[in-house]
Amino acid sequence: MLLARMPASLGGTRGVVALQRPKALSKLLEETDRVILTEWRLAPGAETGWHRHAHDYVVVCLTAGMLLAETTTGNVEIPLRFGQSYARPLGIEHNIVNAGVEEFAFVEVELK
């Protein structure tokens, strides 16, 4: 969540208001008894929303760009290349934000 100062002339009583980031778009591509394939598209500044995976997963980048991984233990900016992939274990609570200036897209493969 982003915070911004709201002028008192606009009704701000405490001077700070929360701004919502745009939400990432997801599209289920396929689900079988072994995998869940989801395409994610994030406009600049968009976020997935806080979540925790129930399965180990692999991400394959469809574009290049910069993502911000927000976690309960801190934030990390991650530069990613077209075609790059990475794997993560289940259970880590996180929010992914497109920190770049272009749309970022990836396919997520969750392993059941």
Instruction: Please check whether residue 102 lies inside any domain of the structure.
Output: yes
Instruction: Please check whether residue 30 lies inside any domain of the structure.
Output: yes
Split into its structural domains, the chain has a count of: 1
Q: Answer for the pair 23, 95: CB distance below 8 angstroms, yes or no.
A: no
pLDDT confidence of residue 52: 95
Q: Answer for the pair 61, 102: CB distance below 8 angstroms, yes or no.
A: no
pLDDT confidence of residue 10: 46
Helix/strand/coil percent split, the chain, to 5:
5, 55, 40
pLDDT confidence of residue 9: 45
Instruction: Please check whether residue 46 lies inside any domain of the structure.
Output: yes
Which amino acid, 38?
T
pLDDT confidence of residue 16: 53
Q: Which domain holds residue 36?
A: 22-111
The CATH number assigned to the domain holding 72 equals: 2.60.120.10
Which pair of tokens denotes residue 41?
């598209």
For the chain, 112 residues long, the average pLDDT of each consecutive 10-residue run is: 44 56 98 98 97 97 97 95 97 95 98 98
pLDDT confidence of residue 18: 58
* Chain-centroid distance, C-alpha 105: 10
